Amino acid sequence: MRVVVCSDKFRGTASARSVGDAVAVAVHAVGGECVVQPMADGGEGTLDAFGGANRSSIVTGPLGEPVDAGWALRDQVAVIEMARASGLVLAGGAEHNDPMEATTAGTGELIAAAAEAGARRIIVGLGGSATTDGGLGALRAMAPLARYRGVSIEAACDVRTRFVDAAEVFAPQKGASPAQVAMLRRRLERLAQVYAEEHGVDVRELERGGAAGGLGGALAVAGASLTDGFTLIAEAVELYDMIESADLVITGEGRLDAPSFEGKVVGGVADLAAAAGVAAVAIVGRADQGLESPIPVVDLSSRFGEQEAMTAALECITRATRDLLDSA
């Protein structure tokens, strides 16, 4: 049996790579072949999907402190995960973040570093941000924008939110009070006017422009294309070809909910598997009750208990996979 594992991370519990390795333990135990391809949708884990970091730069963190951010450069293709430079985790979570001051400057510094290192294609994963600065910090750090002529910048987005709407949709998750959300919306409205006047780019109605608190819009100002993150990553790693040659595909994520089937990893893998005519299963930390899924779902919390699914997730994944293979 040939099994392809293309899971997202289990947020706060296990990386996509470790999930794949846990599945592989069970597959190898029954003499099967296992191919592990970590996946992401543009958020955290994007860098791992491309093979991990092979470079690092000291850049400005979300609250102004220096951070050591890993990124990758292979064959003139750079991969940057904005969460590693401007992420909410770096700010200490929503309770320690300053939503009014959090900046994307570090992400812009990474993009500039990639261009200076000779990258001709720069992929930026937008997700997990601490910021709602409309990408202004990044644009300033990237200056002058003329240096990106001949460089393809692609923003891998995990949402389709528009630029100004980023305040209401995401800022509360980053620690913003209702009053701050209103101020951030006004700031984004003014910034959209500035971008239109100074750069000739109207970001207001741009789908995905609100990704990472408006960083999507700012990158569009710099000439970037805003793309569905899962699709971009799947095409880059040739995921369909892997799936087409498999007997079974296993995907997963920490929490399965309705958005999981709207441009996220599990839904994207399910679609590719269906197109290839290959059986697929999702192993998840927890699934919302009553959720309809196009593929079978193994809910670790229901099977092993929520506590064990959290504290011993990888062992649970291996056991669940073994049960799947035994019943196949």
Domains in the chain, ordered, with CATH?
2-37+238-327 (3.40.50.10350), 46-230 (3.90.1510.10)
pLDDT by residue (tens digit) across 241-279?
A: 999 999 999 999 999 999 899 889 999 999 999 999 999
Using pLDDT thresholds of 50, 70 and 90, give the confidence band for residue 39: very high
| Exposure string over 21-42, b if 16+ CB within 10 A, otherwise e | bbbbbbbeeeebebbbbbbbbb
Across the chain, mean pLDDT equals: 96
Q: How confident is the model at residue 121 (pLDDT cuts 50, 70, 90)?
A: very high
Q: 226 forms bridges with which residues in the sheet?
A: 155
Residue type, 308: E
* Percent of the chain with pLDDT strictly greater than 90: 95
**Span 31-50, mean pLDDT?**
95
pLDDT at 43: 86
Measure CA 194 to chain center.
Answer: 28
Q: Are 50 and 70 in contact (CB under 8 A)?
A: no
Q: What are 186-208's pLDDT values in tens digits? A: 999 999 999 999 999 999 999 99
**37 pLDDT higher than 80:** yes
- 0.75 surpassed by pTM: yes
**Arithmetic mean of pLDDT, 51-74:** 97
pLDDT for the residue 263: 81
pLDDT at 12: 84
Confidence of residue 102 (pLDDT cuts 50, 70, 90): very high
Look at residue 328 and tell me whether its pLDDT is greater than 80. no
Render pLDDT for 137-191 as a digit per residue (tens, 0 to 9).
Answer: 999 999 999 999 999 999 999 899 999 999 999 999 999 999 999 999 999 999 9
Question: What is the reported pLDDT for 245?
Answer: 95
How many residues would you count in the chain?
328
Burial zone of 107 (CB within 10 Å; 0-12 exposed, 13-18 middle, 19+ buried): buried
User: How confident is the model over 76-93, as pLDDT tens digits?
Assistant: 999 999 999 999 999 999
